[in-house]
Structure 1
Amino acid sequence: MKETFRIGSWSMLLLVLAFELLALAILLLRSSENKRANRLLAAALCVTAGMLTPFVIGYAGAYDVWPWLSFAPFAIPLALGPCLYGYVTALAEDRPIARRHWIVPALQFFQLAAVFPWPVATKTWFDGAVQEPYLNPLTSFGVLVSMAGYALASARRLRRYEGWLKGRRRDPSPARLLRAPVVALGLLVAARAGYDLWDELVAPVTYFDLFAYYIALGVLGLWIGLDGWRGAHRPRPVIEEAQERNWAAEGRVWIARLQAEDWWREEGLDLEGLARRLATNTTSLSRGLNAAEGGFTAILARLRAEAVAARIRGGDDRDLLVLALEAGFGSKASFNRAFKARFGVTPSEYRVANGTSAPLPGELRRPQP
């Protein structure tokens, strides 16, 4: 009897799920915000679609019609846990996970890819002698352990992020995006463990018995993907302390930009306004400025005092208060304090002494941070 390839209802349902997952992955890759997180979520959706593919074509009879398709590296379930864990980490901390997390998924892919080109007869022998008795049970156990481990690790990331938001009295809603992958991994672990226990204790689980599991896998993937896509375009706070950043270097860059753009001249400039212009947040900006040079207020005062001093040296004989207001000072008292802190003399004394080209003894070169 000649075997035929026919897309039935089971194959069609899984095929629709797989296409929807891939469409969501493309939408996520086009997002302009949270790029690291969106790439990892897109990868997780592609992995999920790949896990559905052997069942899409298998239920349609593809492996009977074209036996050379066996061992095609469509399904890499060991990659799903790292992808979702990486997604949660990127959302919470905007950093990649360690490369070691990708070693086992890569080994699974290369094992399938290495066997796939073999002749059908050789693959049939390998499946009966090695794959079925040894590698399949090991892989099944590894997938269960991987999903369980990454579910727990993702849950810890979620709790830490929620605690960080709460400790800083921030809106807790950004943590919602992290919950979907944690819940999905937990449900998949429970479902997979249930099938494995049934297979061991009650009756062997067949290829067709797994249909419900893969429907659940596709639906959970769609849930995570849709939830992630809805939040893909929104900037979100991240745990800055988790990042190893050279705050002093970043602070110096921000100070240079502040000086180059002449923003320091604006009397109403505050930390929040400067953070918006520099495309960062106030926490990071404050930390960087403090590490580089004594903080936002001190930096503004120094730049403004130096501007007035430059005007005096240039021969501008207008009233000192006028020069101070033009430089961004809000009052004479704040101007006098800042000027004396920077140059060691009052503005009037500086003007009197400015008749000579030599600087006053108090006019010291500002140490480089």
Structure 2
Amino acid sequence: MIRFGAWSTVLAVLAVQLLVLAAALAAMRANRLANRLLAALLLVMAGMMIPFVLGYAGFYDAYPWLTAAPFSIPLAVGPLVYAHVVALAEDRPLRAIHVAAPAAQFAYQLALFPFPVASKTWWDEQVHAPFVAAPLAAAILVSMAAYSLVSQRALRRYEQWLAERRRSPAPARRLRTAVLLLAILLCARAGYELFDAMVRPIDYFDLFGFYLLLGALGLFVGVNGWRHAADPAPAIAEPAERNWPAQGAEWLQRLRDGGWWREPSLDLARLARLLGTNTSHLSRALNAAGAGFAAELAAIRAEAVAAAIDAGAEADLLALALDAGFGSKASFNRAFRARYGVSPSAYRARRRRLSE
């Protein structure tokens, strides 16, 4: 007899809400790939809840042929969270390899589903329970753990990219809810598995708490995703074939024009912030355009001192060096000789002879 009690009704309401949110997200035009992947995640979460909705309501007793229906694919949760993060942060899909494990789990259930109930019962007792259940449970935990780590790494990279360009952190905060969902599910599922292994076997009804948590987390992530589905989300993107020498030359010119080279404490990180880039790109560009950050900065400062000498400045050479941003006489002499092949005093003496 089919009867919706409190447990089945609560899970059914949550599952329906997830399906409605999934449909709404899938229909969004903005951030299309990211929103569709989030919709797929909600669909998978609803699918994981459906067997328990049906079981608690008595469907499996009334319709035993529903056994092994391929509703629940928990191996898809981790890849979909990661795919959602990458889609919003980098505007690209994942490689097909990430679909392999979820597809294998779905194919396994789909292949088993058409068999008679007696055959499915025999398979469950003789094959699945003793040989498949434990490795599958371990694979789900490993999948969630691995994708939780790579999702957090991708999120940190995106947060850093946004911060370096002084962009709003809102898109990263939106992604953080999905990454947090995966971490919480991992902890909850691991807790249930440990309880099952170390305290007592978990039965069908003990899992109600986990699926209630699953539905609540899915609802939170889904509502948050739907609220911000159309919000701008700049993606990490660099030209495929960037002209690093030209980029380095441009940044060196901006360094000269901005007068930033006069700052005695100027370092690579400070210059990267002034230019609106990151240190790795700046270092790569300056190495491609010349001799690297330290050598190029020293050369610009040496050129400034030489220009002052050429203009007839009578100030002490050390004073000119300090005004150009050099921190010591030794570093000034070394940089000047590297740039002009003579010491600063010899350069001044030669200019004086030429002007007489």
TM-score range, shorter chain: 0.5 to 0.7
Partner of 1:186: 183
TM-aligned CA deviation for residue 29 of structure 1: 1.1
- Residue 236 of structure 1: CA displacement? 1.2
> Matched residues in 2 for 1:146 and 1:174: separation?
25
Partner of 1:67: 64
Report the CA distance shift for 1:85/1:211 in structure 2 as closer, same or farther (over 3 A): same
Match of residue 14 from structure 1: 11
Instruction: Tell me the amino acid that sits aligned with residue 224 of structure 1.
Output: V
Q: Any idea what SS the aligned residue of 1:240 has?
A: coil
**Which amino acid is 2:203 matched to?**
T
Of 168, 172, 175, which aligns to 1:175?
172
Question: Aligned-pair distance for 1:231?
Answer: 1.1
Counterpart for residue 101 of structure 1: 98
- Helix, strand or coil for the counterpart of 2:182? helix
Residue aligned with 2:47, SS:
helix
Secondary structure of the corresponding residue to residue 238 of structure 1: coil
Superposition deviation, residue 247 in structure 1 = 7.3
Hey, what does 1:349 align to over in structure 2? Answer: none
Q: Say whether residues 1:88 and 2:85 are aligned partners.
A: yes
> Which of 117, 123, 129 matches 1:126?
123
Match of 1:209 in 2: 206
CA–CA distance in structure 2, aligned partners of residues 237 and 123 of structure 1: 49
One-letter code of the match for 1:197?
Answer: L
Identity value in percent = 53
Aligned to 2:160: 163
Unaligned runs of 5+ in 1: 249-281, 284-369
Of stretches 34-43 and 63-72 in structure 1, the one that deviates more from structure 2 is 63-72
Aligned pairs for 1:304-343 within 5 A: none
Matches within 5 A, 1:206-285: 206-241=203-238, 245=240
Where 1:165 maps in the other structure, the secondary structure is helix
Measured in 2, the distance between the counterparts of 1:30 and 1:112 equals: 29
Let me know the Cα RMSD of the aligned residues: 1.6
> Deviations for 1:25-60, whole angstroms, at most 9, x for unmatched residues?
111011110000001000000000000000000011
Please list the CA deviations of residues 3-38 of structure 1 after superposition, one character each: whole Å capped at 9, or x if unmatched. Answer: x11111100100000000000011101111000000
| Superposed displacement of residue 171, structure 1 | 1.8
**What code does the residue aligned with 1:8 have?**
G
* TM-score (norm: length of structure 2): 0.67
Residue number in structure 1 paired with 2:110: 113
Give 5+ residue unaligned stretches, structure 2: 244-275, 278-356
